[in-house]
Each structure stands twice: as C-alpha cells, then as structure tokens.
Amino acid sequence: MGEDLMVGRDEALAVKEDGPPSRRPPPDVDPWKFLVVDDDEEVHKATRFALKNVTIDDRPIRLLHAYSAREGEQILRREANIACVLLDVVMETPEAGLDLVARIRGPLGNRLVRIILRTGQPGQAPELDVVQRYDVNDYKHKAELTNIRLQTTLTTACRSYQQLQAIEAHRRGLAMIVDATRNLMQETGLQRLANGILTQICSLLDVPTEGAVCLGRGGDGGKPLRVVAAAGRFESLAGRSVDEISDPSMRQFLLARFDERAAGRWLDQASLHAVLPSGDEVVAHVEHARPLTDLELRLLEVFSANITVALRNADLFEQVHNLAFRDRLTGLPNRLSFDQEIARRIAALQPFMVAVADMDHFHAVNSGLGHSFGDKILVEASRVLGATARDMGGYAARLYSDAFGLILPAADTTTGEALLAGIHTAIHGPLKVGGHRIFSSVSLGAALHPHDGDTEQLLFRRADMALRKAKTEGRGGTAFYAKGMGESQRERLAMVSQLSEAFTAGLLRLYFQPQVRLDNGHTIGGEALLRWPTGDGRFISPGRFVAAAEDSGLIHDIGDWVLEETCRWLARWSDDNRGKPRLAFNVSPVQFRHPGFAERLVETINKAGIDPSLLELEITESSLFHDSELIAAQLRGFRSIGLRVAVDDFGTGYSSLSRLKMLPIDTLKIDRSFVVDMTESSENQSIAEAVVRIGHLLGKEVIAEGVETAAQAASLRAIGCQLGQGFLFSPAVPPETFAEMLA
C-alpha cells in the first residue's frame, strides 16, 4: 500500500492494447506523477498495465498508489508536483472520494492538480451535480476507461496541469519581482543595497547563495572595482578590490561581466547590471548548478529592468519618503513618524514617557516679527530639542505649528521631571537666531507608558491634556497626566456641542450693564455682555462657556453676532433720541488675532450706520503682553476711524507704563478684585488709587468694575475715579430694561 511504480523506462517500445507504441523518453527527464486512489487492488493492477511503458509528451509516468481517501491525502501532503489524481468515489464511505476532493481544494490548498473521478456505481452520484458542486476535471465510469481512453484523458490532464503550472510560476515570479524591488527601495547605502540584490536574485531563481557576488564602482569609472557583497565560497572577498582575487579566471570573468554591463547569461551563470542614483554601478553575479529555464531567464530580465528603473528613481522615492515622514521646515520626524515610534516602543514593551512641548508666546513673535523670523526660531528650536532628546536616549518630532513631540526614557514621574527640566533648560537657551539671542520657553505636558495608556492615540491625547493643564497654570511649566483630566475634557466637548446648538437655535442673549458717573449717578452707556439662559430662569456662567467657544473656534461666529447686535441696538437707541449712549463690547484674544477681524468690524459699523466714537472695544490687559506690535498696529487703525479702546481687568497683567503710553487706549478698567475689598484692604485701595493716578497721568478715562456698595463708590470718588460699573447700580439687564435706564 502506498508504493509507487516507475513506468516508461524499461523498454524502448511498449505495445498497448489499443494504442500506438511510445518512444523511450530521454534520460534525466522528470516523470509525470499520477496518484491512483482506489480500494480495489484490481483497479491498481489494470492501471499499471494500461500505462506500462507509456510516455506523455516525451516524459515517463510515475504511479503512486493509495487504497483509501485517508492514505491518498497523506501522499498528497508528502509528494509535490502530482499532476493528476485518479480517484474512486466510493471507498471507506459512500462519498470518501468527494470528501477528498474537498480537502484537496480546501485545507491542502492544491488548485493545480487535475482530478479524474472514477466510479463503478454510476447511478449513485449524478454526474452534472458532482461536477457543479466539486472542483473536478473529469468524471468517468471505470468501464469506460479503456487503455487508449485512459491515456487520452491523462494526456489532456497533463497538458492542462503544465499550463496551470506555467501560469502560477509567472504569477509567483512577478510577485517576487514586485516584492524584491519594493524591499530594495527601502535599502540605503551601496553595501546594503548589494546584499539586497544578491538575496533577491537567489530567491527569484530558487538557488542557494553559494558562489554569489556583487561589484560596484563610481559612475565616473575612477573608483576601483571591489567586491561589495559576497556569499558562499566568495564570502572572504567582501570589501576587497577585484584585483585582490587570487583566481585569475574568476577575476577576468567578473571584470568581463562588469564591462559588458547588461543582463544576460553565460553557461550556468546569470548576471545583471544596475546604476544607482549616486552614480555607482552594481553587477550582481550568481552561479548555480543547473541551467536556467526560459521562464527564469525571462523573470531575471524583468527583474533587471525593474530594479534599474527603481534605482534610477531612488532619489524621488527618498523625497516622497521624507514628505511622508519628515517635517519639511525643520527636518524632524513628523506626527506620522511620531505615532509610529510610539507604537514601536509599545510593541517592545518598553516603559517611556510621551511629552508634548508647546512654545510659549510664539504667536506673538510670529505676528510681531514676521513669519520668516518665526520659521527661523522653529528651525533652531527643533535643532535644540532634537539634539537634547537624542542625548537623553529619546526621540523628537514636530507635530504642528509650534508644538513638538518628545519620547523620553522615563518610567515614573520622578525620572520624567528630571528629563523635562533638562528640556526646559536647553530650550531657554537662549536660542541664537539671525544674530539675535532669543530667550524662549515651552510648556510641557506628559504621560507615561504603560501607566497612563497603552496605545499611541491614548498616550498622545493624555499628554496633550496635561499640556493644557500646564498652560492654565502659567507659561513655562510642566504637568503630568492625572485621572480626572479626561473628565474635564469630556465636559468641555459636551459644552462645545451644547453651545453650538444653542447659538444655532438663537438662544443666546445680549444683556447690558450700565456704566455710571460716580459723582451724580448718571448712566453714560453700558457694556454688552453675553448671556446663555437655560430656560428655567438661570444662566450658564460665561466663565464656563467662553473658554469652550475659544477652543472650538465658535468664538468667531459668536463674537461677530455680539458685535452686530451691539451695533443694532446702538443705532436703534440713537434714533429714539435717547441721547448718545456709549456701548462697550468685549473681544476675545483669539478673535482679535484672527486675520479677518478688523475688516469685519469696520464692515459691521458701516452697515449699521452708527458713529464709531460711540463704540468702545474692550481687550484684556494680558492681551497687551502678547502680540504687542500687532495689537498696537490694529488699535491705531481702529482709532483712526474713531473707535474707542478700553483695557479690561487692568492691574492683573504685565503692562508697563511705556507700553501703555505707546498704545492708543482711551479707558482703563480697574479689575473688580481690587474694588471688592478696597474698603477693607489698604493694599487693594493703594492699587486702585495707583491705577487711577496712572490713568490720569496718561490722559485716560478710568472705570471701576464690580462696585457693589456705597462705601466702595465713596472710596473710588475720593481717589478721583470718574466712572463705575457694578451691582450697586444694576446687574446686566435685557436691552428693553437698559433702554429705560437711558431714558
């Protein structure tokens, strides 16, 4: 059982029962393999007799025998290149043969072998149904298969098998060529590239790397020929000059191959030639013990042409690679590379820290000194961060704008804080840009792997959350992710969604808080304040939703609406002969820095047809510290059309007298934090008095915010403050109520 029989070699001619004699096949020709699977020994004997001394297309036949479907499957697993299976349908079970067909095409994955079903009980399995349901190539009753019909059927099967083999070989070869050139495109350097070419040729031809060598020299011909990569018995020559090869015939042969510079074949060798983008030339030479087939030679020619084209475009590939994985301005890895590096370290089960660094006040420098200078700062900061991270055994990337990503070897916050302190020190520098010394700082947010996350997205998101925390606590700081930061982020996102819905539905309202003269209580105007009613008589605090509007970008649309409403009410009250009230409106720093803000402001004022001098634009004192040059230019433009300018929350920022003197400002507003306790705190009273004196010295009007008691109002009058605003006079009220106050 399971034995095989070689037929077709014993006799020069064999007389078959009903067929012509067959010629002896040439020596050393691989035979056709046929597997006979049948539980009837007589069938095996008859098949051997019918095919004795038969050849098909000048190739002999080798029979393999199995007496059950199970045994047939074992032979199919063991033996390669079986061309045809003669298979009985009914053996150990009524459908054993059909089950074996399903296993051959399924688990065994053999789509090439031809299958001929033979049955002695033709009535038990409808032929059409079997052919449609199973991938079989022929279906015969055993009585039909006379010797000549069996030989004819097998000849057809062999030719079909041979064609399928050729198609599959072409497919595999082309797939290998594509894969080979793709892999080679990833290699850099002549030696690595030569090793890659060497490996791919041997794989393509299915030969061992014994006796293979690559040569290379400069395109100008000035460099000596040398063995770049070698294997097998040539391995000792790697890195040596060709002139050092002791075997003169081999040396001359390799020199000849290089001089011919063409893909080709010489007896049992194969060579190909390629030119690298650097101008270096490579000749790959492979020796093998057997002649190459026509298919292998064609594949070698295709590979040679393909690899030559690929190498000639290597520079373009490198550019595309850099565009995909490198930041064009700084040369640092980009966000995509950063995520891949995090993923790689996660897969390596390494503890590490992900940090996001954001340059403080960069937008002020970029706007005030120009984008060109800002780019130079980014380039220098990238150089410093990259070098510092490498010295720490880490990795740096530019993520976007002035934000950088860092991966540093820290397993805990103690180690992480020490490393990030080094980052702060390095970037504070100062940076040397265009002959100038720029003192800079960064805010840093960090998250630890695996403690704070086990995916690149989660670690980055949590490091970014920590960065937000660092920014709120002051510039130049560091914060590590902590539980609860995610909750505040989700709350912020929910707030953004609700605010967007409320704004779209027209639920936001504009209220006005009166501004009065402290000497006589007369209302001179008011401040427009945004309110978000909840429907139950309460309001959502601006402290909760304004920051969400700024982060999401909604502040621009909402700010435009506030300006339009303020101008609309001002125009209406001016037409009602209610005097000429002055209305102030707040502008977010985010809104103020938007390139189109000034244009929309002027357009809105002109459309409303109001006197610009009745409008007062309020910006926070902290905004004066950032983008000071840009702000000064914009404010001068607003003043040129008659618009008034007020500084809100004065006393809480960083303004200097020289900056206040330089800026075109009309009004200073004393922050309510100094007013509330001024009657109980001599320090607060002194600050309020200093603000009033500064305002008077600079010729500015002064308004005190948060006036809640008559005592506070009296103290403000005593230090010379002219105007007040607060609950003592009125909270912010709807436009209709405010109109009555004006009357």
- In the predicted model, is pLDDT for residue 588 greater than 60? yes
The residue ranking higher by pLDDT, 227 or 70, is 70
**What pLDDT was estimated at residue 578?**
62
Percent of the chain whose pLDDT exceeds 70:
78
The mean pLDDT of 144-159, rounded to a whole number, is 87
Give the mean pLDDT of 366-381.
82
Q: Where are the domains of the chain?
A: 4-169, 186-319, 326-483, 495-742
- Residue type for 113, please? V
pLDDT in tens, 464-497: 999 988 887 767 889 999 987 766 667 777 888 8
Q: How confident is the model at residue 364 (pLDDT cuts 50, 70, 90)?
A: low
CB 209 within 8 A of CB 196: no
What is the model's pLDDT at position 420? 95
Determine which of 174-178, 384-388, 535-539, 558-562 has the lowest per-residue pLDDT on average: 174-178
Q: What is the CATH number of domain 4-169?
A: 3.40.50.2300
Point out the least confidently predicted range of 181-185, 245-249, 336-340, 498-502: 181-185
Tell me what pLDDT residue 87 has. 92
pLDDT of residue 176: 57
Q: Across residues 162-185, what is the average pLDDT?
A: 64
Count of CB atoms within 10 A of residue 524's CB?
16
Angle between helices 362-369 and 371-391 (to 10 degrees): 140
The pLDDT, as a whole number, for residue 58 is: 86
More confident residue, 219 or 302: 302
Share of the chain above pLDDT 90, in %: 37
* Cα–Cα dist 256/596, whole Å: 71
pLDDT tier at 69 (50, 70, 90 boundaries)? very high
- Determine the pLDDT at residue 368: 62
Which of 130-139, 310-319, 398-407, 550-559 shows the lowest per-residue confidence on average (mean pLDDT)?
Answer: 310-319
Quick one: average pLDDT of 186-202?
A: 62
Q: Residue 7: pLDDT band by 50, 70, 90 thresholds?
A: very low
Mean pLDDT computed over 395-406: 94
Higher pLDDT, residue 388 or 246: 388
pLDDT tens profile 423-470? 999 998 778 887 777 778 899 999 999 999 999 999 999 999 999 888
Task: Report whether pLDDT(735) > 80.
Answer: yes
Distance CA 361, CA 420 (A): 19
Establish whether domains 326-483 and 495-742 are of one fold. Answer: no
Long-range contacts, 217-222 (Cβ 8 Å, 24+): 217/258, 217/280, 217/281, 218/278, 218/279, 218/280, 218/281, 219/275, 219/278, 219/279, 219/280, 219/281, 220/279
* pLDDT of 193: 59
Token pair in block for residue 563: 């300006």
* Alpha carbon distance 512, 712 (integer Å): 22
pLDDT above 60 for 68: yes
Task: Give the pLDDT score at 725.
Answer: 95
Burial class (CB within 10 angstroms; exposed 0-12, middle 13-18, buried 19+) of 739? middle
Mark 75-110 as b/e (b = at least 16 C-beta within 10 Å): bbeeeeebbbbbbbbbbeeebbbbbbbebbbeeeeb
Task: Among 72-86, 112-126, 328-342, 545-559, name the one with the lowest average pLDDT.
Answer: 112-126
User: For 244-260, what is the mean pLDDT?
Assistant: 76
Q: Note the CATH number of domain 495-742.
A: 3.20.20.450
What number of helices (H) and strands (E) belong to the chain? 26, 27
Average pLDDT over residues 517-528: 92
Range of lowest pLDDT (251-265, 349-363, 463-477, 610-624): 251-265
Spell out the alpha helix ranges (H) of 186-293: 190-205, 248-260
pLDDT computed for residue 95 by the predictor: 85
529-539 residue pLDDT tens: 999 998 788 89
* Distance separating alpha carbons of residues 244 and 257, to the nearest angstrom: 17
DSSP 8-class letter at 244? G
pLDDT band at 264 (very low <50, low <70, confident <90, very high): very low
Q: So what's the pLDDT on residue 16? A: 30
pLDDT at site 23: 44
For 401, which DSSP code?
T
pLDDT-derived band at 569 (thresholds 50, 70, 90) equals very high
Rounded CA-CA distance 428/442 in Å is: 8
Asked: is 186-319 a CATH 3.30.450.80 domain? The reply is yes
Provide the mean pLDDT of the chain.
80
| Confidence tier at 70 by pLDDT (50, 70, 90) | very high
Q: Is beta strand 523-533 parallel, antiparallel or unpaired with respect to 395-400?
A: unpaired
* Cβ atoms 54, 61 nearer than 8 A: yes
CATH number corresponding to 326-483: 3.30.70.270
What pLDDT is attached to residue 546? 86
Closest by CA to 384, choosing from 449, 440, 442, 431, is 431
Which pLDDT value is given to residue 484? Answer: 75
Of 134 and 568, the structure prediction assigns the larger pLDDT to 568
Q: 118 falls in which pLDDT band (50, 70, 90)?
A: confident
In 3D, which of 300, 311, 211, 217 has the Cα closest to residue 264?
300
- If you average pLDDT over each of 234-238, 549-553, 691-695, which comes out highest? 691-695
pLDDT of residue 66: 95
End-to-end CA distance of the chain: 117
Whether 625 shows a pLDDT value over 60: the answer reads no
